[in-house]
Amino acid sequence: MSINDLQRKYPWARLYRLDYPVRLDALAGVLEEIHAAHRRIDKADRDSGDGKLIGESAGMLKLRRLVDQVAPSPATVLITGESGTGKEVVARQIHEFSGRSGPFVAVNCGAIPEHLLESELFGHERGAFTGAVRAREGRFEQAKGGTFFLDEIGDMPAVMQVKLLRVLEERVIVRVGGTASIPVDVRLIAATHRDLPKRIEKGEFREDLYYRLNVFPIDIMPLRERAEDIPLLVNEFIRRHLEQQSVTLRIEDDAMQVLQQYRWAGNVRELANLVERLVVIKPNGVVTARNLPWPIVEHDDSLLPDVELISSGLESAPPGRHTSLPSGGLDLKQHLAEIEQSMIQQALRDADGVVQRAAEILGVGRTTLVEKIRRYELNAPDKDTG
């Protein structure tokens, strides 16, 4: 199947093509495009709500209270939450309300190759390594008088964890290849989507560093747990498109209801991207539930796009939803497995993650369901009544 066919089949997917055998220049081009795409997503994440914390749910009100409380203090903050929940937006808000005169400097520990991270954070002296033709200050120094945001701290290599711990204890840094201790006046905010206590148990994260960082913890709830904020967020994203591109969109009530029921694994970032795509597909148009792409409509059969719309390329059909045999045939085993996975996921959602209840909904034994969840590598439910 060609990339064009695949793109028609999965219109939501960000597909790239690379000739094999691979040429280095072509690979470099694709990697650069991928990095650029991530930068756009990260920027969209930073810009979510123009840096404002949008929402009126109890969770958001509590989050704003925490930000207001901690911002003026020098306390180190550890922000946790799933990917796309807006951890950097919260960090920037804390900086904005802190009254600190220096800049906000952010580093993503997971995005910088391990061998470059130390120089990136602490800087280097001239001649410290091949290519270090002049001395360079690191991000810690650049954040002087301001806030230093260490994103994806859970991905920091063990050797760097030791060095960061020393900085937090002594409040000085030493450049790579240098000997002088340079005092750093920064307010540190760290963030991660990982379960740090679990990583400590596995020996992947230092416990002493965790306690140094976790002075003021802030946990951001996933979007699916504050579904009442979704209309506010959608309207805010539409407003921004209107402001920047003079293009608007109207989301019908049935579509909004579907959006509020979807699980949003990618959280606010995924919602912002969806609005952006809808603006591209239907500029100044009206979006109904039928216009929403898979997997957003996956869980509601009554709202699946019809065949005509699928063939138009506007809507996408989830795998395992065709009721007629495709002309090219299909892999029946795979097809049935996808239907089974979809039904299990829906049952787990309907049962709030309680395996026993989901098994009753599906008419199978609990043991059978547990085995299928394991085999399909579905997300382990949070709750289990045993």
Partner 1 sequence: MIVLVNDAESTARHVKELIEFMDAPSVCTATPQNWLEQAGERRLEAVFLGPELTQPDVDAVIAGVGRLDPNIPIVLLASPGTQ
Beta bridge partners of 217: 78
Q: Report the nearest approach of partner 1 to the CB of residue 58 (Å).
A: 27
Question: Does residue 227 belong to the site contacting partner 1 (CB under 8 A)?
Answer: no
3-state secondary structure of 112: coil
Question: Does residue 325 belong to the site contacting partner 1 (CB under 8 A)?
Answer: no
Q: Report the nearest approach of partner 1 to the CB of residue 168 (Å).
A: 24
Using the rule CB under 8 A, which residue among 90, 147, 150, 266 binds partner 1?
Answer: 266
Q: Is the peptide bond before 21 cis (omega within 30 degrees of 0)?
A: yes
The two structure tokens encoding residue 247: 């293009």
Q: Tell me if 221 sits within 8 A of 59, measured CB to CB.
A: yes
d(CA 382, CA 371): 16
Closest to partner 1 by CB, 5 vs 308, is 5
Question: Does residue 319 belong to the site contacting partner 1 (CB under 8 A)?
Answer: yes
Using the rule CB under 8 A, which residue among 205, 230, 327, 334 binds partner 1?
Answer: 334
Q: Report the nearest approach of partner 1 to the CB of residue 235 (Å).
A: 22
Q: Tell me if 153 sits within 8 A of 192, measured CB to CB.
A: yes
The two structure tokens encoding residue 256: 């909004």
Using the rule CB under 8 A, which residue among 27, 307, 325, 380 binds partner 1?
Answer: 27
Q: Tell me if 152 sits within 8 A of 108, measured CB to CB.
A: yes
Segment 80-99, which members bind partner 1 (CB under 8 A)? 83-84
Q: Report the nearest approach of partner 1 to the CB of residue 283 (Å).
A: 21
Using the rule CB under 8 A, which residue among 118, 141, 152, 236 binds partner 1?
Answer: 152
Residue given tokens 């749910």 in the structure block: 57
- CA-nearest of 253, 255, 302 to 281 is 255
d(CA 349, CA 177): 54
Long-range contacts of 347-354 (CB under 8 A, 24+ apart): 348/373, 348/378, 348/381, 349/263, 349/299, 352/383, 353/381, 353/382, 353/383, 353/384, 354/381, 354/383, 354/384, 354/385
Q: Site size for partner 1, by CB under 8 A? A: 50
Closest to partner 1 by CB, 21 vs 99, is 21
Closest to partner 1 by CB, 70 vs 121, is 121
- CA-nearest of 152, 178, 154, 163 to 118 is 163
The two structure tokens encoding residue 289: 């539930």
Closest to partner 1 by CB, 57 vs 108, is 108
Question: Does residue 28 belong to the site contacting partner 1 (CB under 8 A)?
Answer: yes
Segment 363-382, which members bind partner 1 (CB under 8 A)? 377
Using the rule CB under 8 A, which residue among 2, 130, 244, 302 binds partner 1?
Answer: 2
Which of the stretches 21-29, 88-96, 98-106, 213-221 binds partner 1 when contact is defined by CB under 8 A?
21-29
State how far Cα 38 lies from the chain centre: 11
Which of the stretches 97-105, 132-140, 262-270, 355-363 binds partner 1 when contact is defined by CB under 8 A?
262-270
Amino acid in position 259: L
Q: Report DSSP state, residue 21.
A: S
Closest to partner 1 by CB, 62 vs 277, is 277
Which of the stretches 25-33, 55-63, 230-238, 252-260 binds partner 1 when contact is defined by CB under 8 A?
25-33
Residue given tokens 């694994």 in the structure block: 265
Closest to partner 1 by CB, 65 vs 322, is 322
Q: Report the nearest approach of partner 1 to the CB of residue 93 (Å).
A: 23
d(CA 194, CA 189): 15
Using the rule CB under 8 A, which residue among 193, 206, 226, 241 binds partner 1?
Answer: 193
Binding site for partner 1 (CB under 8 A): 1-6, 9-10, 12-20, 22, 24, 27-28, 30-31, 33-34, 37-38, 41, 83-84, 110-111, 113, 152, 155, 193-194, 265-266, 269-270, 273, 294-295, 318-319, 331, 334, 338, 377
